Amino acid sequence: MKRELIAELADKLGQPYHELLSIDLSKRDRDEIFKWFLASVLFGARISETIAINTYRQFERDGLLEPKRILARGWSRLVESLDKGGYVRYDFKTADKLLLLADYVIRKFDGDLNLLHDRARNASDLEDQLKELKGIGDITTNIFLRELRDVWPKALPLPQEPVLVAARNLGLIKSKTPAKALGELRGLWRKNALPHRSFVNLEIALLRLGRLYCRKSRCSGCPVKNWCKR
């Protein structure tokens, strides 16, 4: 029964955001990793998912998916790209942040964020080093590392609160603490793994379910309401 539920979750809600943006993380390509980093920064603000996606697409149209190109664009033209994407509320602040981050990635890692992972001692150190970057907090770090679980061995972020809420409502876990819940969910996945899918698909599906339905009590529109134990 749980395998059927996991399959339904993965099919209906489990597309990772990097796939949605046509970013290929599977080969650890430096350019693709940076694209996902840029997208994670955009997703990390208190702004709608739609606006973040539209803004990333605008950056794609403007050829701003590499750190050197972001620096060459300059602050005022970055603001223009952000505004065209709908990122108006945080345009000045985000332009400042992106220029600083692009410069740091070039100077510290020669444009290759894989070096950040490889130099980190462990998962905790990787997260700490990311959060040392100006403007990168817990949310952006979690977004970035969550979809790199299958790519970077040290990418082991704890699940966010919406994931836990949705998983408990569906009876998939009993734990309330993120660390124990992650262990339960990973164990559940190992027993019910789907072909051509990964644990990331399950986590993303639970994240969307928790954000869009469980936390807003939109039970009538929930795509897996028949499975809910609440």
Positive or negative CA dihedral for 190, 195, 199, 204? negative
Q: Assess contact for 14 and 205: CB atoms under 8 A.
A: yes
Distances in Å between the alpha carbon of 190 and those of 2, 78, 207, 224? 12, 44, 19, 21
- Domains of the chain in start order, with CATH, are 2-15+158-227 (no CATH), 18-146 (1.10.340.30)
pLDDT tens string, the chain, 230 residues long: the values are 789 999 999 999 999 999 999 999 999 999 999 999 999 999 999 899 999 999 999 999 999 999 999 999 999 999 999 999 999 989 899 999 999 999 999 999 999 999 999 999 999 999 999 998 888 999 999 999 999 999 999 999 999 999 999 999 999 999 989 999 999 999 999 999 999 999 999 999 999 999 999 988 888 899 999 998 87
Per-residue pLDDT, 229: 83
Contact indicator for 103, 74 with CB cutoff of 8 Å: no
Neighbours of 151 (CB within 10 A): 19
Residue with tokens 């990418």: 155
Indicate if the alpha-carbon torsion angle 48, 54, 60, 64 is positive or negative: negative
pTM for the full predicted model? 0.95
Helix, strand, coil percentages, rounded to 5, for the chain: 65, 0, 35
